[in-house]
């Protein structure tokens, strides 16, 4: 007679009903909605929040003004369909050819940087066709944004001091 080990409890596997699993979503950019401002305002990167506050604004004020004043306002969405950044361009009132380009993001933006960078140049070039002269100021301490503006083809053209902090003036002129 064969010695059979019967120390296990055999239980059939539970079969789950057809659960639809969402396929992997790539990060993407889309037209911003007001809810994006509310989601992003409390999650800004430390450097972005510091830059906004140095200029005398709260994150909510800066994002709200930028959202309402921009002719182009885009949100950067991560793999989980969460807002990780916003950017756009606000027209300069005295000029039809100049725009003030801006961007604010959360730490989540750094997690999708490859995808973000791939789309950035195209998005900035699109803004540059609408406004042949793009410009703004950037906090000299915000290294991530300094790298981004250089990646997108902007040039540093000057310096200004705000609240004892050095800011760089930057611009990009369409060819």
Nearest to 124 by CA among 155, 84, 165, 153: 153
Contact residues for 89 (Cβ-Cβ < 8 A; gap 6+): 70, 71, 72, 99, 100, 101, 102, 127, 130, 131, 134
Distance of alpha carbon 124 from alpha carbon 149, whole angstroms: 10
Sorted by where each begins, the domain ranges of the chain are: 28-173
CA 28 to chain centre: 10
Query: Looking at per-residue confidence, does 5 or 104 come out higher?
Result: 104
Cα separation, 138 vs 128, in Å, equals 18
pTM of the predicted structure, to 2 decimals: 0.83
Identify the band that residue 113 occupies on the pLDDT scale cut at 50, 70 and 90: confident
pLDDT digits (tens, 9 = 90+) for 123-157: 999 999 999 999 999 999 999 899 999 999 999 99
- The structure tokens listed for 124 are 């900035």
| Per-residue model confidence as pLDDT tens digits over 29-43 | 999 999 999 999 999
66, 80 contact by CB (below 8 A) = no
Q: Which CATH superfamily is domain 28-173 in?
A: Gcn5-related N-acetyltransferase (GNAT) (3.40.630.30)
C-alpha distances (whole Å) from 162 to each of 93, 135, 143 are 22, 17, 17
Task: Give 101's strand partners.
Answer: 89
How many Cβ atoms sit within 10 Å of the Cβ of residue 152?
21
Strands 98-105 and 133-139: parallel
pLDDT (0 to 100) of residue 24 = 62
Residue 47 has pLDDT above 90, yes or no: yes
Element (H, E) at 59: helix 59-69
């Amino acid at each position: 007679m064969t010695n059979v080990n019967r120390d296990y409890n055999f239980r059939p596997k539970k079969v789950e009903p057809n659960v639809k699993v969402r396929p992997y979503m790539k990060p993407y950019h889309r037209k911003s909605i007001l809810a994006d401002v509310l989601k992003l305002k409390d999650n800004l990167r430390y450097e972005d929040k510091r830059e906004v506050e140095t200029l005398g604004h709260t994150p909510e004020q800066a994002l709200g003004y930028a959202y309402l004043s921009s002719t182009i306002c885009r949100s950067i969405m991560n793999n989980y369909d969460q807002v990780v950044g916003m950017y756009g361009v606000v027209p300069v009132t005295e000029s039809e050819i100049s725009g003030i380009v801006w961007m604010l993001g959360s730490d989540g933006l750094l997690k999708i940087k490859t995808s973000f960078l791939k789309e950035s140049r195209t998005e900035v070039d699109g803004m540059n066709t609408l406004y042949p002269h793009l410009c703004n100021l950037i906090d000299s301490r915000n290294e991530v944004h300094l790298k981004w503006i250089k990646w997108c083809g902007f040039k540093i053209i000057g310096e200004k001091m705000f609240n004892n902090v050095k800011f760089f003036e930057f611009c990009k002129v369409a060819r």
